[in-house]
Structure 1
Amino acid sequence: MSEEYFYLADETVTAAEDYSQKCATRLDQIDKVLIFVIALVILMMIKESVSAVVLMKKNRELNKKAYIDLHTGLPNRSRVEELNAHYDHFDEPTAIIVFDLNDLKVVNDSLGHLAGDTLIMNFAHIIRTSIPEKYFVGRYGGDEFIALLNDVTQQDVEDIILQVQNEARCYNEFSKQIFIDFAFGYALSTHSRETNLKLLLNQADKNMYECKARMKAKKKSH
């Protein structure tokens, strides 16, 4: 009986050990599967996060391009129109200067559109480098550019225009074929009690066309 008892006990212990080993093996397999699943989920989350960051970056780039004139690198008319919505009043003296190239059509017709494009790019460069970086400079369309100046006096505005004229004069001294000639007009918020950016821009544009008319009349008289 004792031998039979010990034999059964030994068999029971062996069976228990085998079962425990099988359970341990299964648990180990389950742990490996869980680790794999968790790692896969983490990788998917990282991938989604990277995709989201890339998408946000692309969206920012697209939004930026939507407001940039690709020809000159300056903000475009859409950006100017957006500014109109923000400046429904002025908390500080503000000015708008409108610049308009003269004889662009003559350059296009006589030297070709490539020369006209070069003229526009060079004029854009002169305006942007002549006007302090803190002020907005944009291409309003075609051969027309604008500068938005905050916290300025009339003398400040006239000094900036003079700087642009001087830079254009220096350019013309070295240019052999393509010369820069432009009209300008400006308007100050301090000249009107009730105004906004759109009205200011309209007034500056009107003053620019008056300047252009005077320049044409002067050329005819000579």
Structure 2
Amino acid sequence: MSELRKIIVFLVVTLIFIYMIKINFSLLTKYGHKKRLSALLILGLGLISAGTFFDVIAFLIDIRLNDIISICFTAGAIIFGTYIILWSRYIINIITKLHKKAHNDSMTGVYNRVGFELIFREKSMEDNSFYIMVFDLDKTKRINDTLGHSKGDEYIINAANIINEEIGINGFVGRTGGDEFVAFVKNIGEEGINEIKTLIKKRVANIKNMEGTQISIGYSFGEREGNNLKDLLEVADKRMYMDKNNRKI
């Protein structure tokens, strides 16, 4: 019975060894190969597997390999434990990157629509006293047509950075379209909102190496102008188009 138990342990450990190597290389190949992690896995589980193998051999041919078996198990456990710690950090890093990719706009770095709506739901449940601001860049098509799409992208990125910097710790920003953005802003009062509007408009109008850059801005207040994001965006959009049309008059 003891012989069978040792053989079963050896086979189980060997199967785990093979399975872990397969999973390890599958993930590392997909998300970036880490030779140190692979080496720790092979060495750690390899030593543990060797320990179970020597345990079976020692029992079958009746020789004493206790010291060798003990060294294999101890060293293997330490190395494999180190691997588990590093592997966990590696997986957390992958999850963080995937989460950011799923919820952030790759070009500007601000939230995409999905990410913005997710954070909005969390924040709006905490307090319904907040502002929604919408932004629409003007002259984007002209810049794309005259200076090229790379300059158009640069314009959008610069504007996103300006909006993000001016909103700062007062809220968060999302990109909802090509040159359209939305921001959640905590209740800083209409005076604070208008100050942010003025600063953003001034900075966008002075983006280097680009002439005629402008931005239209509208906002709504969560406590009195809507019960959900859709309603608040509609109110903010109307004010944004009023801002755009007033400038054309």
1:197 matches 2:233: no
3-state SS of 2:108 partner:
coil
1:64 matches 2:100: yes
Distance 1:113 1:104 in 2: 9
Q: How do residues 91-170 of structure 1 correspond to structure 2 at under 5 angstroms?
A: 91-169=127-205
Equivalent in 107, 111, 115 of residue 79 of structure 1: 115
Select the structure with the greater relative contact order (CA < 8 A; seq sep ≥ 6): 1
Q: Is the 8 A contact 2:167 2:185 kept in 1?
A: no
3-state SS of 1:199 partner:
helix
Ranges of 4+ aligned residues in structure 1 off by more than 4 Å: 87-90
Aligned pair in 2 of structure 1 residues 61, 177: CA closer, same or farther (>3 Å)? Answer: closer
3-state SS of 1:40 partner:
helix
3-state SS of 2:170 partner:
coil
Aligned pair in 2 of structure 1 residues 199, 101: CA closer, same or farther (>3 Å)? Answer: same
- Tell me which amino acid in the other structure corresponds to 1:82: L
Greater shift after overlay, 40-49 or 73-82?
40-49
Distance 1:206 1:177 in 2: 28
Aligned pair in 2 of structure 1 residues 57, 119: CA closer, same or farther (>3 Å)? Answer: same
1:38 matches 2:79: no
Equivalent in 203, 217, 242 of residue 184 of structure 1: 217
**1:133 Cα offset (Å):** 2.9
1:207 matches 2:243: no
Q: Is the 8 A contact 1:96 1:201 kept in 2?
A: yes
**1:91 Cα offset (Å):** 2.5
Distance 1:49 1:177 in 2: 50
3-state SS of 1:133 partner:
helix
- Would you say how many aligned residue pairs link Structure 1 and Structure 2? 187
Say which one has the larger Rg.
1
Distance 2:96 2:194 in 1: 36
Structure 1: runs of 5+ lacking an equivalent? 1-25
3-state SS of 1:65 partner:
helix
1:154-211 C-alpha deviation (Å, 9 max, x unpaired): 1211111112122234x25xx344442111110012333x613332123212321232
Report the aligned-residue RMSD: 2.3
When normalised by structure 1's length, the TM-score is 0.74
- Tell me which amino acid in the other structure corresponds to 2:146: S
When normalised by structure 2's length, the TM-score is 0.67
Distance 2:202 2:141 in 1: 24
Partner residue, 2:60: none
Identity percentage of aligned residues: 32
Distance 2:221 2:130 in 1: 6
Q: Is the 8 A contact 1:187 1:201 kept in 2?
A: yes
